[in-house]
Structure 1
Amino acid sequence: MFELVATAESVKQAEQLVDAGIDKLYIGEDDFGLRLPASFTTEEIAEITEIAHNKGKKVCVAVNAIMHNDRIKTVIPYLKELEKITVDEITVGDPGVIHLMKKNDIKLSYIYDAQTMVTSANQINFWVKRGAKGAVLAREIPYEELEKMAKQVTIPLEILVYGATCIHQSLRPLVENYVNFTEQKTKTEKERGLFLSEKKDPDTHYSVYEDQNGTHIFATDDVNLLPYLEKLVEVGLTTWKLDGVFTRGDDFVKIAHIFAQAKQAFKEKCWSEELMNELQEKLLSLHPKERTLDAGFFTMDSSDVK
Structure 2
Amino acid sequence: MEDALRAAEQQLREAGVPSPRVDAELLAAHLLGVSRGRLQALVLTGIPAPEGFEELVGERAARVPLQHLTGTAFFRRVELSVGPGVFVPRPETESVAQLAIDRALGMERPRIVDLGTGSGAIAAAIADEVPGAEVHAVELSELALAWAARNLEPFGVHLTQGDLATALPEQDGSFDVVVSNPPYIPVGAVPVDPEVAEHDPEEALYGGGMDGLDLPRAAATTAARLLGPGGYFVMEHAETQAADVADFLERMGSWTAVTTHQDLTDRDRATSAVRNGERSGRIPTTPTTPTTGTR
Q: Which has the larger radius of gyration?
A: 2
TM-score by length of 1: 0.31
TM-score by length of 2: 0.32
Larger RCO, structure (CA 8 Å, separation 6 or more)? 1
